[in-house]
Structures are given as C-alpha cells and as structure tokens.
Structure 1
Amino acid sequence: MFSFQINLLIIIAFYSLSERAILSLVAGRQSPGVVGLRGVLQPMADGMKLYMKDMIRLAQSNHLAYVLCPSASLGLSFAAWSVFPFWGTYSLEVSALLFLCFISLSAVPIMIAGWASNSKYSLMASVRALAQAISYEVVLGLLLVFPLLFTHSLEMTSVAAPTQSIWVALAFPPLFGMWLACILAETNRSPFDLVEAESELVSGYNVEYSGLHFALFFMSEYSNMLLFSVITTSLYLNDGFMFTNPPLQEAYFMTKAFFVSIFILFCRAVFPRIRFDHLMKMMWLGSLPLTLSFYIWYIIWM
C-alpha cells in the first residue's frame, strides 16, 4: 500500500503539470512545457520550492490543530482510495458507505484549519466550507447510491465489474450532470471553488499556511480529483464491453477515467466561479428534488 501512495504522489505531480498545460492552451499562453525537458522537471522544481520554504508558526494559533490538519487532509484522501477495489484489496459489503464516510470527513480538516489559524479570513472560509459541504454532500450521497441500486449491493466491486449494458450516464443524463457538479464542489474546483475564493477570501482557509503544510493541502485536493475520476468511471461510465486480456480491460477503464480527469481540469479554464448563494439554491432547490424524484421513480418501477 505504501508503494501505491508513492506512485499516487508522482501521478499527482504530473497531473498538476497537465492542468497548467490545459490552462495555457485555452488561454493562449506558454505552459511549463517550454522549460525543463518539456516541463517534466517542473513538478520537481515546484516540490523543492515548497519544501524549502519556511513553515510559518503563528503565535496566536492553536498550534497542534494547525500543524495536524494538512496531514489529516491528505491522510483522509489516501484512506478513501483504500476502499476502492480497483487499487486496493478490500472487498467490504458496505464499502460505498465507508467511502461516503471518508469524503464527508474531508471537510473537517479544512474547517479546523481555518479555525486554528486564528485568522478572520480563514475562519470565514472554513464556515463557508462547512455550509457548502452540507448542501452538496446530501445530493452526492444520493447520486453515489443510485447506480448501486441496480446491483442491489453497497459493495463497490459489484459496480466496478463491467456488467452494465449501457452507461448510467447515458441512461440518466440529468443524474450524471448533477454528479459532475457535486464532484467539482467536493474537490473545490471551478466553478464551485468557493472555499478557496482568492478574490474575496485571500485564498481562503489556507491563507496562513506555507511550505510543506500548503503542499499537503494541495496534494490532498488533486488526489481527490483523481479519486473521483475513477469513481465516476466505475459508477456512471461502466458498460458490458470486455477485453479478453485483463491489462487491456484495465487500460480501457483508465482511459475513461483519464478523460473524466481532463474534464475536471478543463472546467477551471472555461467556467467562471458562481456566487455562493447560487450554489446553495442549485443544490437544495434544484438537484436534491430532482434526485429524490428519480428515487421515487425507481421505487414505483420496482
């Protein structure tokens, strides 16, 4: 499992490089690909820069919580990976519920980090993160369980195996659209990056963090983006097409996950940030009633 974490950190480094390349392509600007062996050395240079920066110790902060929150955020992200059967070895009957527990707890380090920093801007960002999490995680949980209803199981392996004849995303496009919106909000990505709204919150909850502590929050966010790309492929882009060779089947699965991850990066370059009250209204008054209506349809259909 430790080797998987090291490989995941390497993938995160080059995933961040891919984001900068996509942003430069959309904006018509030069990317890091013009330096350091076509950008390959850029993630290493960024990592060394963050490692060598001084880690600020705030005199009036809750030092223990301030220091532990970045590590807790990355640890919860790695723990969420462990319940996914494609990578891990766990096969729990309630692995989907365990995954929900991990992603629900991911907002706790952000909230505590904003409070422990003893900064009004950080505190406002942590309160916003809590309110945002309550709004979209209700819909996220319902949308996570909906594809599992067709397998009559809460085990992720029952969905990860290609048994569906058609993608759930094609059968239920509204649900897939709401799912994409929820994962963008969960990973704090545009247009729902309201927790890190630098234009009004001075970078949000992590404004008092620097150096390695900031890098841990950064890696946690990108790890969650990759995780939800794999989960989206497993739940909504699963079909009955199978290769006789298992490596080819895994490559087919990861190709779909790759395009989902690129879509998450592309959203940052295309969509502007929405207002906080618009997100709340969209989740409580739009997505939640529509998701519940699909559940009512499923109950009547069964």
Structure 2
Amino acid sequence: MSGLVDGRVVIVTGAGRGIGRAHALAFAAQGAKVVVNDIGVAKDGTAVGVGSDGSATGESPGEQVVAEIVAAGGTAVVNGDDVADWDGAQNLVRTAVDNFGGLDVLVNNAGFLRDRMLVGMSEQEWDAVIRVHLKGHFAPLRHAAAYWRAESKAGRRVDARIVNTSSGAGLMGSIGQGNYAAAKAGIAEMTIQAAAELKNYGVTVNAIAPAARTRMTLGAGGAMAENMAAPDSGFDAMAPENISPLVVWLGSAESKDVTGRVFEVEGGRITVAEGWRHGPTQDKGERWDPKEIGPVVADLLAKAEPPTPVYGA
C-alpha cells in the first residue's frame, strides 16, 4: 500500500528524540526518505553523543532513529549539523540533495530550554535559546528556500513544504519561559512571512504549536507542566506520536493549498490558531491630544476580545 508521502525527501531537525523522532518515524512509515538531523544534546543544549568534528556518533539518538527506520524497511540517513550554524544549515540541505537527489519537505523542530523568570535571566540564557529556536529555524529555511528558488528558476516544478514548530508559549506566553516564548512567537510570525515570500516558488510554509510529553516539557515551568501525567488507561493524549499525523499531512502533496497557518495540536485535537488581526479602532482624522486618549482606549478595550491568559499566570 502506498504512503501519503511516497518518495518525498524530508529533513526533520532535532529528530533524535521526542516529537522530532516521532515525525521522522511517521514520515518514513508513509514512504518518505528522511534526513534525521540531531546534534545530540541534553535539553539545556549541552553536547551529548557528538564527535569531535561535530557529526553524530554511532551512539547518537539520530543514529538510533535511522536504525529504527531502516529496520522497518524505510530509508534514512543521519545528519549531525548544528541547525543554528549558517554553514551547518547549508550542509543539512546538501545532505538531502546529495543522498536522495533533492528536497521536498523541511520540518524545523530542534530546540532546547533554559527556563528562568525574566528578572533573573542571564544574557547567555536569552541568547542561547533565541539562537537555537529562532535562528535554528531561519537558517535551514533560508538554505532550503534558496535551493527551491534555484530549482524553480531552472524551470523544474517545485512542490515543497516547510513545517515550523512554534508553541503555545509563543502564542500566549508562558511564565518563566520568556526567552522560549519570544523565540516561538518569532517562529510563528516568520512562518507567515515566509509563506508570503515563497509562494511564487511553489513552497508552502505552516507551523504547529504542539503539546506533548517530551524531555523539554517534563519538569518545565511552562505551558505543559500540568498535563504531564500519563493516563491510567486508554488513549495517551500527551504522546509525541499524536503530533506527527498533521505534520506528515502538511508535508504531503495534499496540503498544497494550505500556507501561512499555525495549528495547535494536542492528542486528537487540531485547532487553527488565530493571531494578531486588526480590532476595534477610532480615527479622529487628526493628531490626538494625550489628555483625550484615556476614554478612547477604554472604549476600544471594551469592544475588543479579551486576550488569552498567559500559561502559568
């Protein structure tokens, strides 16, 4: 029986564990050729299972996922590049092209946490999380997009997909995760931006905001902490594998008309997130006096939808 993504070449970043691993296995099960990217780090970003040259070792989680895919009759290769490194991200795209002759889908998933309240957060804790999440999405996206643009300009048909990973923390905020929330909010907006810019090259760009039990959410002070207990019986709503069916579909040819969207997904529930949009307005037709503003703002807020509460507030 043919799979939904038969023959498509897919990169999944951060695919050694958790949601990324589930994505890689799900794509392979549906017939895709998968580049399993994993640098092999702990959830705080410290290196684990990486060789001196920066590549994944035989003991790396990425190698283990590739072995699972191959054992099940699928096709996969490992890549140990740092997705937030400019040259590493370029090499990641090259890995797909060199091994499988092209690239059809990029799933940006890699990330880690360094949780702390903003008042106590260090510059390094801020920079590290912004780098891995936000730049770690942009760099692979940019190099994949350059590949597809070149293919399109050469007259070859492009039917490509990018699936980014935002978070409920990025959409609503999460107490104690200001760096992570800011990065994930940036990813949601970058998704909308990229969808508009890449449409003419045959590329769709969407994002998910997943909720699942992973290393990053276990013990975290943010959005997922209250939901971590596995159920006593029946459907495990917090299993990482629940997230992947939507991602596989978004990576398929069937999703060609869907772009610039962010989907929240948890268990068996899929929600279309509705972000910033123009709300109530008053136009005086000339410059306001500051003394006039109070009643105007009060009236606008009375007409506006209340904001969704921040996680943990």
How does the TM-score come out when normalised to structure 2?
A: 0.34
Q: Which has the higher strand share?
A: 2
Greater C-alpha radius of gyration? 2
Q: Which has the higher helix share?
A: 1
The structure with higher relative contact order (CA 8 Å, sep 6+) is 1
